[in-house]
Structure 1
Amino acid sequence: MSVPNQKSKSRLRRTLGFTKWAVLDGGWRQLKTKYYLRHLDARLRGKVSRMPEIACRDDSDTGLIVMCGARHFSMACLAAWTLLRHIAEPLAVTFVSDGTLSNDNGRFLSSRLPGCEIIQSKQVDQLVESVLPRKRFPLLDELRRQNFGGRKLVTMNVVGTSRYRILLDGDVLFYDVPGDIAEAIEVLRQGSSEMFFMRDILCGYPCSAGALEARLGKKVPGNLNAGLMIHRTFCREDFNQLENHLASFDIAWRKHYFIEQAAYAALAAGHGWSYLPASYSIPIPDVSFHPNGAVCSHFAGHGNRHLYYQEALRLAVP
């Protein structure tokens, strides 16, 4: 009789551990949800592949910036498409790769959103280093390498050449004409440096809003969701302020997943801010969701993913 080698024993332990988790610990529910969401995503990919074409305009003074990867590529495409189909004027559109977008992804974007720009991660690295040299902005450089929120904060505010920008997460869907976005852009065109964003359902900072105010010595938004933001393109002074704010934060704050929103709040404390109306909302997980009257929804978090697909499959054309 042969004796199992160490590899076989290790494989057996993993198999038994997985079986215990799936059968005895209730893991089968997570597996069921996982494969159900994969099924919905496959259906969405099929619909997104047939999206009607919407032209972009690279010389527009307003840019739409979306950061995404191959895993949630269909979601990001649909987010941009549902916004662009309701916007009166063509926008400059930039998709920023997290390093996983393929040439096929780029060709698809060019066919559905002709005129859009696709920036790969190597280009992003070069661009960030030219605009924000590591020696001058060490904390912003650290933030960009730390987590997805930090990458978004730095990258989405460096790429693109438009004077005003709309920053959009891939899990946002638009149902109607976003007139408040057009109004916000007009305010910026009049010379304002105000920042516009959605309310979050919780305080999404690495600390309380009060602690952040005490550190900055200024009033900050009580809560802020960075899934949809409108502001003028940052200048060198804005990046200097961001670097200084990060230096004043506790190390634990800088390493927190929500540091992106705290950094935006710090800038908003100096520039001024306005919340988008309640029709720009975040659904609450496990609560019946009806988009009647909503302009857009940000389906933040995995708890909302089933609601996202429910609405995405309804909105995707054909």
Structure 2
Amino acid sequence: MSATDTPLSSDPALAADPRHLPVMLDEVVEALGPRPGAVIVDGTFGAGGYTRALLAAGATVVAIDRDPTAIAAGRALEAASEGRLTLVHGRFADLDTLAQAAGHPHVDGVVLDVGVSSMQLDEAERGFSFRFDGPLDMRMGQHGPTAADLVNGLEGKQLTRLIGLYGDERRASAISRAIVARREERPFERTLDLAAVVEKVVRRAGDAIHPATRTFQALRIAVNRELDELADALAAAERLLVEGGRLVVVAFHSLEDRIVKRFFADRSRERAGGSRHLPEEAIEPPTFRLPYRAALSPGDAEVARNPRARSAHLRTGERTAAPARPIDVHALGVPSVSISSLGG
């Protein structure tokens, strides 16, 4: 019986949430290597899929989520964990200080499942999805500017840049013009209203993704500052992990995965390139070793069972004894989009 098959008890509070299938669970557990006595930070608690598996393997877990509804839903699991789970409401960019405040100045592992959770997508009132009608919100932490604030308040050029960079949308300019023209009649308030305007500009082609997919992705990333948060979380994990500790990141789209890939590439370099005419550039010692040189992807069986896993990429780094370094978000490929007209 594997660690993920070993129940903590018969308490129903420990059962997996049927609404959410944790992506690449077996690969995550194998990469982290949880064991009794180990302390692991789950920086994106969500429905608790990874946390349950780590607890079942005997590890102690500090689980973080910026969504207060996720924390509230996990309280029964925390109560049933016999003191081995601490739930923390906060941002994973602050995972080092949050873990330290929970009594763990250093930890043996950190796992991050980057992006919006299945439960958030499926809850119309959260405003993340174009499949359901709901308020145009998209805030994971339920505070600060909403997606409606961005759509109704940004200048056309700002909207174009936001949708183009964060959504990788080729028709960003046409979409922003359509949004600006429509909001002059009345402001956007609902998800399906915005999706309908985008769909008039970006036509659906066969079995391709919904026309509003990239626009909604861009707004969600901007509202929650997801890429900046990710870069800060990688640096926080580097500061927190003990030598030999593992950082495991599951990313779902190219912007996220590129940041993680560049971080590990930079942190694992042992020497700089040179030539026979020039000496090699001196660089700082690597802070991570890479157990797997390439990203891992989910198997066909998992994708068939959970289509949302199809774009997942898992990357792992093992901490060395070298001191942590400052982070350069621009070197990691975090694009800068101004939302200054909203005070952001």
TM > 0.5: no
Which of 1 and 2 has higher RCO (CA within 8 Å, sep 6+)?
1
State the TM bucket, normalised to the shorter chain. 0.3 to 0.5
Alignment TM-score, normalising by the size of structure 2: 0.31
Alignment TM-score, normalising by the size of structure 1: 0.33
Bigger fraction of residues in helix: 1
